[in-house]
Amino acid sequence: MTVDEDEDLATGRTRAEREAAGKRARRRLPREALADLAPRDGRPDALTLIVEQERSRLPDLLALRHGRMAESPFAFYRATALVMAADLAASPGTGLVTQLCGDAHLSNFGVYGSPERRLLFDLNDFDETHPGPFEWDVKRLLASVDLAARAVDVGARRRREVVVRAARAYREAVREFASQSSLAVWYARADVDDLVDVADDMGRSAGRRTREVVQKARRRDHLQALSKLTVVVDGEHRFVDDPPLVSTLESILTAQEAAQFRQGIADLLTDYRSTLSPDRRHLAGRYRVVDVARKVVGVGSVGTRAFVVLLQGVDADDALVLQAKEAQASVLEPFAGPGRYAHHGQRVVEGQRLMQAASDAMLGWQSSPGVDGVPRDYYVRQLRDWKGSLDLSEARPAGLERYAAVCAWTLARAHARAGDAIAIGAYLGGSGVADEAFADAAHAFAERTERDHAELVAAVEDGRLAATRGV
């Protein structure tokens, strides 16, 4: 299946034809072969890929990125989607293409508010979204499950059970979606109550924190962002300098450069409105830019250009905080080929809209030159819109198993929205053959990640890589 064959789904391929496509994929890649992991002979090692990727990033933030990556194998994994993409591309594939998240690890699932003000659970990071073989997302998710289980000292036998259960949850969900109408799949979503129910198996402290995440998510909106990030000066909010996590423009640029860049961001937001629907364009037009600051986000994203933008309406009580985040080429693109969008901000936004049950009302894209005059692509969204994620650092195996299964169901729903669930379901079949093979692959990727992480820690300790810890 090619990147553009999703058009065929709307032009008459029958259920039997789609099932046949899934069965043909078994001849290309028997399900047992999903376990295969290609050796790295003749290819760049993980550290080489990491350093090469960082050439386009802000140099003053790289030590912070390395410090966050060094914290644990799971933290390292969060920042190395490129490394895994290289490994996946070198391994045999099914050829069953859908829109991929591109970085579908456990920490990239969470709760957020829909435009209708419902609290949803879904994938929530699409920086690497791109069309590709469905199994790449599944392997990325399952390897993160294996690593998360290792982090809480789950033994090898029980750890495999957790991973196999998540693989089975994906397979059974995608086969169930294959039996439903396209409209039913489109409306399917994970209720946040399911997440709260999972908390009962997380353990007392982990379960309490899970409930707190859900409760706090409803308070994580623009008003909370304003109280945490800004002060009022002469009747207008202004960002507070809190380096290195939040840096005002005046603290990192000359006065002239700061004024130039602030105007560039204001122009970006004016132009970005054209990517919104007319009603949301009207809403955005009620606000003007009053301040901009650079903000460090995530682990893997550290070093890319991300800015918080403060907008104000009629007075200081009528304010909105947006995030403009640089969108570079997906790490999948060198291996899966170019996608249909030349603008990487649009790639992120369209992929998110396709895969999520509901997306941020203010989600859009545009380009803007930096102070160096280089034009860069950005996507724009609300900074906080009831967003929250689970802390799995003390999860018990039963709770981790259930949570991983919810994430796997959510990923299957996203793939079913964007691709051919009938073909994928037919390929995976009704037995557990694929589940076991996926678990073998997850184990192999986790082992490789632990070795790569150890190499990064050694590079930090002997001074080859600068690192700032604990931030």
Element (H, E) at 230: strand 230-233
The pLDDT of residue 390 is above 80 = no
Residue ranges of alpha helices (H) inside 12-61 are 15-28, 46-53
Block residue for tokens 């001074």? 463
Which of 51-55, 115-119, 167-171 has the least mean pLDDT?
Answer: 115-119
The pLDDT of residue 187 is above 60 = yes
Distance from the Cα of residue 435 to its chain's centroid: 23
pLDDT digits (tens, 9 = 90+) for 192-221: 766 666 665 665 655 566 666 666 655 555
Report how far residue 407's alpha carbon sits from residue 109's, in angstroms, rounded to the nearest whole number.
Answer: 7
The pLDDT of residue 111 is above 90 = no
pLDDT digits (tens, 9 = 90+) for 367-377: 998 888 899 99
Give the full edge-to-edge strand order of the sheet including 109-113. 109-113, 119-123, 190-191
Instruction: Check if the beta carbon of residue 206 is closer than 8 Å to that of residue 286.
Output: no
Buried b (16+ CB within 10 A) or exposed e, 77-101: bbbbbbbbbbbbbbbebbbbbbbbb
pLDDT digits (tens, 9 = 90+) for 24-41: 999 999 999 999 999 998
Q: Looking at residue 213, what is its pLDDT?
A: 61
pLDDT digits (tens, 9 = 90+) for 248-298: 999 999 999 999 999 999 999 999 999 999 999 999 999 999 999 999 988
